[in-house]
Protein backbone atom coordinates (compact mmCIF):
# COMPACT_ATOMS: atom_id res chain seq x y z
CA UNK A 1 0.00 0.00 0.00
CA UNK A 2 1.31 3.43 -0.92
CA UNK A 3 -0.94 5.30 1.53
CA UNK A 4 -2.92 8.44 0.80
CA UNK A 5 -1.87 10.50 -2.22
CA UNK A 6 -1.83 14.28 -1.99
CA UNK A 7 -3.06 16.32 -4.93
CA UNK A 8 -1.05 19.48 -5.41
CA UNK A 9 -3.73 22.06 -6.11
CA UNK A 10 -3.02 25.77 -6.73
CA UNK A 11 -4.42 26.53 -3.27
CA UNK A 12 -2.07 24.03 -1.64
CA UNK A 13 0.88 25.33 -3.63
CA UNK A 14 0.10 28.87 -2.47
CA UNK A 15 -0.15 27.67 1.13
CA UNK A 16 3.31 26.16 0.84
CA UNK A 17 4.65 29.46 -0.43
CA UNK A 18 2.96 31.33 2.43
CA UNK A 19 4.30 28.96 5.12
CA UNK A 20 8.08 28.98 4.73
CA UNK A 21 8.82 27.72 8.26
CA UNK A 22 8.76 23.93 8.14
CA UNK A 23 7.06 23.15 11.47
CA UNK A 24 4.42 25.83 10.92
CA UNK A 25 3.60 24.38 7.50
CA UNK A 26 3.47 20.86 8.87
CA UNK A 27 1.08 21.84 11.67
CA UNK A 28 -1.13 24.05 9.50
CA UNK A 29 -1.52 21.48 6.72
CA UNK A 30 -1.78 18.47 9.01
CA UNK A 31 0.57 16.31 6.98
CA UNK A 32 3.62 14.23 7.75
CA UNK A 33 7.25 15.29 7.57
CA UNK A 34 7.84 13.11 4.51
CA UNK A 35 4.72 14.32 2.71
CA UNK A 36 5.66 17.94 3.27
CA UNK A 37 9.15 17.36 1.89
CA UNK A 38 7.68 15.69 -1.17
CA UNK A 39 5.30 18.58 -1.77
CA UNK A 40 8.09 21.11 -1.40
CA UNK A 41 10.18 19.26 -3.96
CA UNK A 42 7.24 19.11 -6.35
CA UNK A 43 6.90 22.88 -6.39
CA UNK A 44 10.68 23.29 -6.62
CA UNK A 45 11.06 24.98 -3.24
CA UNK A 46 14.11 24.74 -1.11
CA UNK A 47 13.60 25.16 2.62
CA UNK A 48 16.57 27.49 3.10
CA UNK A 49 15.51 29.73 0.24
CA UNK A 50 12.04 30.03 1.71
CA UNK A 51 13.41 30.91 5.13
CA UNK A 52 15.78 33.47 3.68
CA UNK A 53 12.91 35.13 1.85
CA UNK A 54 10.86 35.25 5.06
CA UNK A 55 13.70 36.89 6.98
CA UNK A 56 14.64 39.28 4.18
CA UNK A 57 11.03 40.47 4.01
CA UNK A 58 11.47 41.54 7.65
CA UNK A 59 14.97 42.96 7.33
CA UNK A 60 13.96 46.44 8.56
CA UNK A 61 12.67 45.02 11.82
CA UNK A 62 15.73 42.82 12.12
CA UNK A 63 17.95 45.89 11.82
CA UNK A 64 16.10 48.06 14.34
CA UNK A 65 14.13 45.99 16.85
CA UNK A 66 15.68 44.52 20.00
CA UNK A 67 16.14 40.76 19.71
CA UNK A 68 13.52 39.83 22.30
CA UNK A 69 10.99 42.27 20.82
CA UNK A 70 11.44 40.86 17.31
CA UNK A 71 11.13 37.34 18.72
CA UNK A 72 7.84 38.16 20.48
CA UNK A 73 6.40 39.96 17.45
CA UNK A 74 7.00 37.06 15.07
CA UNK A 75 6.94 34.04 17.38
CA UNK A 76 10.57 33.14 16.71
CA UNK A 77 13.11 31.94 19.26
CA UNK A 78 15.58 34.71 20.28
CA UNK A 79 18.55 32.50 19.39
CA UNK A 80 17.19 32.18 15.84
CA UNK A 81 16.83 35.96 15.63
CA UNK A 82 20.46 36.36 16.72
CA UNK A 83 21.65 33.86 14.11
CA UNK A 84 19.80 35.52 11.24
CA UNK A 85 20.81 38.98 12.40
CA UNK A 86 24.44 37.86 12.30
CA UNK A 87 23.95 36.34 8.86
CA UNK A 88 21.89 39.05 7.14
CA UNK A 89 22.75 42.26 8.98
CA UNK A 90 26.11 41.75 10.63
CA UNK A 91 27.61 41.39 14.09
CA UNK A 92 26.05 44.52 15.61
CA UNK A 93 23.37 43.43 18.05
CA UNK A 94 19.85 44.80 17.58
CA UNK A 95 18.70 46.53 20.71
CA UNK A 96 21.42 49.17 20.64
CA UNK A 97 18.92 51.41 18.86
CA UNK A 98 17.81 53.31 21.94
CA UNK A 99 15.80 55.83 19.96
CA UNK A 100 13.24 53.26 18.86
CA UNK A 101 13.02 51.78 22.34
CA UNK A 102 12.54 55.17 24.01
CA UNK A 103 9.84 56.11 21.51
CA UNK A 104 8.05 52.82 22.06
CA UNK A 105 8.04 53.13 25.87
CA UNK A 106 6.83 56.72 25.56
CA UNK A 107 4.01 55.59 23.27
CA UNK A 108 3.00 52.74 25.59
CA UNK A 109 2.95 54.98 28.66
CA UNK A 110 0.75 57.54 26.90
CA UNK A 111 -1.66 54.77 25.89
CA UNK A 112 -1.62 53.29 29.39
CA UNK A 113 -2.42 56.56 31.16
CA UNK A 114 -5.10 57.43 28.62
CA UNK A 115 -6.91 54.27 29.74
CA UNK A 116 -5.98 53.94 33.43
CA UNK A 117 -5.09 57.37 34.84
CA UNK A 118 -8.52 57.83 36.44
CA UNK A 119 -9.31 54.27 37.47
CA UNK A 120 -5.99 52.54 38.11
CA UNK A 121 -4.67 54.76 40.91
CA UNK A 122 -5.82 55.74 44.38
CA UNK A 123 -5.90 59.48 45.03
CA UNK A 124 -3.08 60.07 47.52
CA UNK A 125 -5.13 62.70 49.37
CA UNK A 126 -7.81 60.14 50.15
CA UNK A 127 -5.23 57.57 51.25
CA UNK A 128 -3.72 60.09 53.68
CA UNK A 129 -7.15 60.90 55.10
CA UNK A 130 -8.12 57.26 55.45
CA UNK A 131 -5.22 54.78 55.73
CA UNK A 132 -7.66 51.90 55.25
CA UNK A 133 -8.09 52.84 51.58
CA UNK A 134 -5.97 50.38 49.58
CA UNK A 135 -3.50 51.25 46.87
CA UNK A 136 -5.01 51.32 43.40
CA UNK A 137 -4.35 48.58 40.89
CA UNK A 138 -1.21 50.37 39.68
CA UNK A 139 -0.39 52.72 42.55
CA UNK A 140 -1.27 56.21 43.77
CA UNK A 141 -2.01 59.49 42.02
CA UNK A 142 -0.58 62.63 43.63
CA UNK A 143 -1.96 66.00 42.56
CA UNK A 144 0.72 68.68 42.28
CA UNK A 145 0.76 72.26 40.93
CA UNK A 146 2.57 70.90 37.86
CA UNK A 147 -0.03 68.20 37.25
CA UNK A 148 -0.69 64.65 38.47
CA UNK A 149 2.20 62.40 39.42
CA UNK A 150 1.64 58.64 39.24
CA UNK A 151 3.38 56.54 41.87
CA UNK A 152 4.22 53.08 40.52
CA UNK A 153 5.92 50.25 42.34
CA UNK A 154 8.45 48.18 40.41
CA UNK A 155 5.87 45.44 39.90
CA UNK A 156 3.07 47.70 38.72
CA UNK A 157 5.36 49.59 36.34
CA UNK A 158 6.25 46.34 34.59
CA UNK A 159 2.57 45.36 34.50
CA UNK A 160 1.76 48.70 32.90
CA UNK A 161 4.39 48.20 30.16
CA UNK A 162 4.95 44.43 29.94
CA UNK A 163 6.78 44.66 26.62
CA UNK A 164 10.06 45.62 28.34
CA UNK A 165 12.04 44.86 31.48
CA UNK A 166 12.02 47.22 34.46
CA UNK A 167 15.54 48.41 33.70
CA UNK A 168 14.67 49.31 30.11
CA UNK A 169 11.36 50.94 31.07
CA UNK A 170 12.91 53.15 33.73
CA UNK A 171 15.82 54.07 31.47
CA UNK A 172 13.44 55.09 28.69
CA UNK A 173 11.12 57.02 31.01
CA UNK A 174 14.06 58.98 32.37
CA UNK A 175 15.41 59.69 28.88
CA UNK A 176 12.03 60.96 27.64
CA UNK A 177 11.21 63.11 30.65
CA UNK A 178 8.61 60.95 32.39
CA UNK A 179 10.68 60.64 35.56
CA UNK A 180 13.25 62.96 37.06
CA UNK A 181 16.89 62.20 36.39
CA UNK A 182 18.17 60.01 39.19
CA UNK A 183 21.28 58.28 40.41
CA UNK A 184 22.33 55.09 38.66
CA UNK A 185 24.07 52.33 40.58
CA UNK A 186 26.55 50.14 38.70
CA UNK A 187 24.77 50.89 35.45
CA UNK A 188 21.47 49.55 36.74
CA UNK A 189 17.99 51.06 36.92
CA UNK A 190 17.33 54.44 38.57
CA UNK A 191 16.54 54.22 42.25
CA UNK A 192 12.84 54.89 42.95
CA UNK A 193 11.96 57.21 45.82
CA UNK A 194 10.94 55.85 49.23
CA UNK A 195 7.52 56.98 50.47
CA UNK A 196 5.49 56.10 53.55
CA UNK A 197 1.82 55.87 52.61
CA UNK A 198 -0.95 54.57 54.87
CA UNK A 199 1.67 53.54 57.41
CA UNK A 200 3.59 51.40 54.91
CA UNK A 201 6.97 52.32 53.48
CA UNK A 202 7.58 51.43 49.85
CA UNK A 203 9.63 52.51 46.86
CA UNK A 204 7.79 54.32 44.08
CA UNK A 205 8.61 55.54 40.61
CA UNK A 206 7.23 59.08 40.36
CA UNK A 207 5.93 59.28 36.79
CA UNK A 208 4.44 62.42 35.27
CA UNK A 209 3.65 63.47 31.74
CA UNK A 210 6.63 65.24 30.17
CA UNK A 211 6.56 69.04 30.45
CA UNK A 212 3.80 68.88 33.06
pLDDT tens for the chain, 212 residues: list them.
455 566 666 766 677 666 767 677 778 777 777 777 777 666 655 556 677 788 888 888 887 777 777 888 888 888 888 888 888 877 655 445 677 788 889 989 999 999 999 999 999 999 999 989 999 999 999 999 989 999 999 999 999 999 888 888 988 898 888 987 655 555 555 568 889 998 889 999 999 998 75
Give the CA distances from residue 199 to residues 30, 128, 135, 148, in Å, rounded to whole numbers and listed in that order: 60, 9, 12, 22
pLDDT of residue 74: 86
Task: Please tell me the pTM assigned to this model.
Answer: 0.56
Sequence spans of domains, the chain:
1-57, 63-94, 98-207
- Give the chain's radius of gyration (CA, Å): 25
pLDDT of residue 127: 92
Exposure string of 164-194, with b = 16+ CB inside 10 Å and e = fewer, is bebebbbbbbbbeebbeeeeeeeeebbebee
Taking the CA atoms of 119, 121, 124 and 129 in sequence, report the sign of the dihedral they define: positive
What is the rounded distance in angstroms from the CA atom of residue 198 to the CA atom of residue 47? 62
The H or E element that residue 121 is part of is strand 121-123
pLDDT of residue 154: 93
Amino acid sequence: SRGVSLILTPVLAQALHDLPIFNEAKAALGISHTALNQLRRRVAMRHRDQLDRWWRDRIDGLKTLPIDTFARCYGVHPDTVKAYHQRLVGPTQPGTNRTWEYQRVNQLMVMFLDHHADTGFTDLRHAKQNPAIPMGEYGYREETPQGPVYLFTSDTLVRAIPEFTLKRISRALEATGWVEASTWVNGEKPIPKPRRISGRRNLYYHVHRPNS
